[in-house]
């Protein structure tokens, strides 16, 4: 009996070790496939000249800084930060929307999606890889744009400017906001046309910046259904006002570490929910 018990225990331990090893190998291969798709998405964005706007942005911002110093009466630093960060958000939003809505559609149109899914690649892996690839593109964009703003401040000040320390937390929050917007674009693109997806995503971008007004509007409504409708929009749509620190940064007020942490935690939960919904919708979509 003791011999049988020992053999059974060894057998169970072997099965457990084999299961852990198989899971580890599968996870490694899955992450490898996701990273490969992400790298291809990033290279495709570069080939589409998405990143070429950076050079133009830096040159224009530096040129504007030269003339603003002559005309603004000592407000050139504030105007450069305000203008630069606003342009960073605007450029990034256009990239997130118009590239994001085409991530899935282009692959279907070119019929390359069928070749990808014929391999051991799940639809969720495909979507996550595309999302990470565009997020990397946006990261490069906002980083170079942040460098452009910093260089413009250095040029105007003829040296180090304390405002630069506040620029980079604002740039980071802009990037987090764009990651949410990319997930929204990917969600809409999983079930609608690129034109409609772009329109819906742009609407979410605009409404998200007035999220606090939605809550006030809901409280001011006399009708209960109207209150529920606007309150539902407030909680359902992303609250981009958490990431709007451009004006305060231009006045030399940096966002607090606690607010940055809360904004990142909110983005992680929201993006995870959006990607899960996108995967669910796309997995049920008939691609034939």
Q: Is the pLDDT of residue 76 over 80?
A: no
pLDDT at 60 over 50: yes
115 and 108 Cβ atoms separated by less than 8 Å: no
Decide if pLDDT at 173 tops 90: yes
The answer to the question of residue 31 being in a domain is no
Task: Give the mean pLDDT of 211-234.
Answer: 74
196 C-beta neighbours (distance < 10 Å), count: 13
The tokens of 255 are what? 């966002």
**pLDDT score recorded for residue 12:** 47
Please tell me the predicted confidence (pLDDT) of residue 77: 80
Q: What angle do CA 145, 148, 152 make, to 5 degrees?
A: 145
- Assess if residue 69 is contained within a domain: yes
Mean pLDDT, all residues of the chain: 81
At 101 the pLDDT is 87
Residue 228 has pLDDT above 90, yes or no: no
Mean pLDDT of 143-167: 85
Query: What is the SS3 string spanning the chain?
Result: CHHHHHHHHHHHHHHHHHHHHHHHHHHHHHHHHHHHHHHHHHHHHHHCCCCCHHHHHHHHHHHHHHHHHHHCCCCHHHHHHHHHHHHHHHHHHHHHHHHHCHHHHHHHHCCHHHHHHCCCCCHHHHHHHHHHHHHHHHHHHHHHHHHHHHHHHHHHHCCCCCHHHHHHHHHHHHHHHHHHHHHHHHHHHCCCCHHHHHHHHHHHHHHHCCHHHHHHHHHHCCCHHHHHHHHHHHHHCCCHHHHCCHHHHHCCCCCCHHHHHHHHHHHHHHHHHHHHHHHHHHHCCCCC
How many domains are there within the chain? 1
Whether the predicted pLDDT of 285 surpasses 80: no
Higher pLDDT, 145 or 174: 174
Domain membership flag for residue 14? no
- Cβ count within 10 A of residue 192: 15
pLDDT at 55: 61
Please, which pLDDT band fits residue 132 given cuts at 50, 70 and 90? very high
Mean pLDDT for the stretch of residues 260-276:
94
Nearest-CA neighbor of 36 among 140, 133, 135, 137? 133
Q: Which residue has the tokens 């620190």?
A: 245
In a domain, 7, yes or no: no
Lowest-confidence range among 77-91, 213-227, 247-261, 272-286? 213-227
pLDDT of residue 269: 95
pLDDT bin (cut points 50, 70, 90) of residue 213 is: confident
8 or 271, greater pLDDT? 271
The pTM (predicted TM-score) of the whole model is 0.85
Judge whether 126 and 36 are in contact, CB under 8 Å.
no
Band of pLDDT at residue 37, cut at 50, 70 and 90: confident
Confidence bin at 115 (pLDDT 50/70/90): confident
Domain that holds residue 102: 38-209+244-283
Instruction: Identify the residue with better confidence: 63 or 255.
Output: 255
With 80 as the cut, is the pLDDT of residue 241 above it? yes
Would you state the pLDDT for residue 254?
87
Q: Cα 149 from chain centroid?
A: 21
- Compare 125 and 19 and report the one with higher pLDDT: 125
- Give the lowest-confidence range in 47-56, 142-151, 158-167, 214-223: 47-56
């Amino acid at each position: 009996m003791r011999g049988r018990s020992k053999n059974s225990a060894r057998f169970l331990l072997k099965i457990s070790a084999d299961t852990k090893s198989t899971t580890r190998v599968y996870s490694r291969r899955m992450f490898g496939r996701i990273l490969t798709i992400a790298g291809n998405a990033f290279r495709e964005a570069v080939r589409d000249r998405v990143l070429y706007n950076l050079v133009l942005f830096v040159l224009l911002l530096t040129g504007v800084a030269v003339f603003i110093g002559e005309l603004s009466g000592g407000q050139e630093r504030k105007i450069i930060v305000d203008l630069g960060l606003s342009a960073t958000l605007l450029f990034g939003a256009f990239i997130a929307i118009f590239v994001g809505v085409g991530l899935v559609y282009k692959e279907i149109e070119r019929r390359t999606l069928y070749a990808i899914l014929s391999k051991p690649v799940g639809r969720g892996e495909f979507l996550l890889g595309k999302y990470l690839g565009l997020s990397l593109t946006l990261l490069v964009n906002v980083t170079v744009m942040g460098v452009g703003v910093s260089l413009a401040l250095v040029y105007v000040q003829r040296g180090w400017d304390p405002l630069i320390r506040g620029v980079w937390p604002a740039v980071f929050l802009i990037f987090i906001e764009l990651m949410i917007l990319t997930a929204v674009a990917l969600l809409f693109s999983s079930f609608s046309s690129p034109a409609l997806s772009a329109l819906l995503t742009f609407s979410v971008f605009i409404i998200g910046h007035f999220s606090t007004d939605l809550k006030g509007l809901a409280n001011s409504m006399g009708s209960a259904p109207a209150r529920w409708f606007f309150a539902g929009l407030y909680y359902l749509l992303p609250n981009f006002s958490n990431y709007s620190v451009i004006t305060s940064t231009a006045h030399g007020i940096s966002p607090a570490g606690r607010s940055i942490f809360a904004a990142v935690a909110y983005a992680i939960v929201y993006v995870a929910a959006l990607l899960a919904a996108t995967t669910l919708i796309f997995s049920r979509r008939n691609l034939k």
